[in-house]
Amino acid sequence: MKQLTIDIGNTRSKWALFEGDQLVRCGYMDEGLPCEGVQNTMVCATGDADLHALGLDGANVQRLTSTTPLPIALDYATPDTLGPDRIAAACGAQKIGKEGCPKVIIDAGTCITIDYLDADGVYRGGAILPGIEMKFRALHTFTAKLPLLEKVDPCQPCVTGRSTYESMAAGVLTATRYEVEGFVRHYHRRDPATQVLLTGGDAERLLGEGLLQVDNLVVEPHLVMIGMNEIIKLKIEN
């Protein structure tokens, strides 16, 4: 049995094809979708994507929402406003994370989301903050002379920049590190066994630039897709 998961994000749309638990192929929507043999499709759309216009309105296509039956419980005051990518990532963390441990999920994309899943598999909420590129764009947009830094050379980030370029890089990259590590420290103080799962388009960038220094870290670029596959499997089993 084949399951197709589609993540329509703010920047680019991705897909992953599963057979049971195994991820067998992945790619981007603008490169085409695999259709042969797919029996169930789940779409995670952060915005108001028109699934009909995208050709994703078949009988076997399900859009992920907070009312979709899930392998985790949601304890969130406004579940109808909860991003489906955050839901899917939490389901993925529950699948691949260590059983019986709390989990912090960091999704480093256009925004950075930091979410908390307790040891009983209950999603308790989290935080949303600007991503790296959004911070660089804000510095350029809301000032008269600061340039737009679109690609910062991967290097060990400094704290004291000695040029405008270095100062902007230091501010954005070091601040991002301290933000994320501060949240993780908060949860580790509550329970040192808390596991940290990192995903998203900037995940490797954060690691490659030496920004994150946290314990109990698991990196999984397909965490959202894995979570959607778990939701599909729950539907099939029921």
Catalytic residues, by residue number, are: 85
With 0-12 / 13-18 / 19 or more C-beta atoms within 10 angstroms meaning exposed / middle / buried, residue 38 is: middle
Q: What is the CA radius of gyration of the chain?
A: 19
DSSP string, the chain: -EEEEEEE-SS-EEEEEEETTEEEEEEEGGG----TTEEEEEEEESS---TTTTT--STTEEE--TTS--SSEE--S-GGGS-HHHHHHHHHHHHHSPTTS-EEEEEESSEEEEEEE-TTSEEEEEEEEE-HHHHHHHHHHTSSS------PPPSPPPSS-SSHHHHHHIIIIIHHHHHHHHHHHHHHHH-TT-EEEEESTTHHHHHHTT----SSEEE-TTHHHHHHHHHHHHHHH-
Would you say 4 and 13 are in contact if contact means Cβ atoms under 8 Å apart? no
